[in-house]
Structure 1
């Protein structure tokens, strides 16, 4: 029985495909984590701006 070259996979190719498929299936989770990190960065910048404005307004003329 002859194997078609398009269907034949080495063990390394099968492992690479398994790793890629596991990463691809987790892609929505990665997007959610990125969105959370962006929201946290925006919140941190807003807090820093608020603290900076309070300090600036507290300075004497």
Structure 2
């Protein structure tokens, strides 16, 4: 689950950068596919935090 949390965090950073027009033409393509996440990248970051918390919860020994 930690791997999923890291992947979601990286994707959140990618969508944030694309939404801020910092990736050039690649960012335009990214925002064309995932326009919701370019507008609101905190949705994906919230999912990453929840996935990390869930991974911590299920791995308690």
Normalised by the size of structure 2, how large is the TM-score?
A: 0.37
Larger RCO, structure (CA 8 Å, separation 6 or more): 2
Normalised by the size of structure 1, how large is the TM-score?
A: 0.37
